[in-house]
């Protein structure tokens, strides 16, 4: 079972600190070099640590840095999923969900089974959504509604996401430094729907 990393955030005067912890690995993000050194010293006085300097990968998230950018992606993780599903040689598609195909409930009425292969693949895709692939979040969210009783149509739609990832496995998220007096460190945009045509349920997003 994959455990999500814990994140600690702290403001200290003009400085800003973010520490992520996953089992025995830590990532440190600081706005000031002096604050970075102070934090490292505080941690090393409490625990035995090894400073690996600039990170290149953590929990299957690949990290690439330049002078003004930080990029994260999961190409190797996607390739591992495709190989496990026997889909590493299939053709890609340009959209994770076919907008012309309605998503219908399973009319067979089988008993729920949240340990099925559909649920296992869905969890792997949800990890991609949370980490580096927000472009499949809507499709994964819709298909997650049928986890307990998936049909062959639902499994086919889930496999379509893999076709999409085949062509976008090199995609990621890039954060770029810029000179600004804006106090907001991050800006997030979300697309939402009101009363979906298939089930008349709305999809929204929460901003924090």
Burial of 55: CB neighbours in 10 Å, binned 0-12, 13-18, 19+: middle
Structure tokens at 143: 């298909």
Cβ neighbors of 90 (< 8 A, separation 6 or more) are 82, 162, 163, 166
Please name which of 206, 187, 177 lies closest in space to residue 69, comparing C-alpha atoms: 177
Q: Where are the alpha helices (DSSP H) in the chain?
A: 33-46, 75-84, 117-131, 137-144, 152-168
What's the pLDDT at 116?
82
What is this structure's pTM? 0.76
135 C-beta neighbours (distance < 10 Å), count: 15
Give the helix/strand (H/E) hosting 19.
strand 15-22
The pLDDT tens digits of the residues spanning 124-178 come to 999 999 999 999 998 999 999 898 889 999 999 999 999 999 999 999 999 887 7
Find where tokens 């026997």 sit.
86
The yes-or-no verdict on residue 38 having pLDDT over 70 is yes
Place 23 in a pLDDT band, splitting at 50, 70 and 90: confident
Structure tokens at 48: 């035995």
Q: Nearest 5°: phi and psi at 203?
A: -120, 125
The pLDDT tens digits of the residues spanning 129-138 come to 999 999 999 8
Please name which of 164, 124, 162 lies closest in space to residue 144, comparing C-alpha atoms: 124
Give the domain ranges of the chain. 6-53, 75-172
């Amino acid at each position: 079972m994959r455990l999500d990393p814990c994140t600690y955030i702290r403001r200290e005067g003009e400085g800003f600190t973010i520490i992520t912890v996953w089992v025995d690995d830590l990532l440190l993000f600081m706005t000031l070099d002096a604050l970075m050194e102070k934090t490292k010293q505080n941690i090393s006085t409490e625990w035995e640590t090894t400073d690996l300097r600039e990170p290149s990968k953590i929990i299957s998230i690949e990290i690439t840095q330049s002078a003004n950018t930080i990029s994260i992606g999961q190409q190797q993780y996607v390739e591992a999923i495709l190989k496990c599903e026997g889909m590493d040689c299939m053709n890609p598609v340009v959209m994770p969900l076919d907008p012309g195909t309605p998503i219908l409930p399973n009319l067979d009425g089988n008993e729920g089974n949240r340990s099925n292969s559909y649920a296992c693949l869905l969890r792997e895709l949800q990890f991609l959504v949370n980490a580096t692939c927000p472009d499949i979040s809507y499709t994964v969210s819709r298909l997650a509604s049928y986890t307990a009783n998936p049909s062959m149509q639902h499994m086919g739609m889930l496999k379509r996401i893999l076709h999409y990832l085949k062509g976008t496995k090199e995609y990621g998220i890039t954060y770029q430094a810029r000179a600004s007096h804006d106090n907001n460190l991050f800006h997030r945009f979300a697309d939402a729907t009101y009363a979906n045509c298939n089930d008349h349920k709305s999809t929204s997003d929460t901003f924090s």
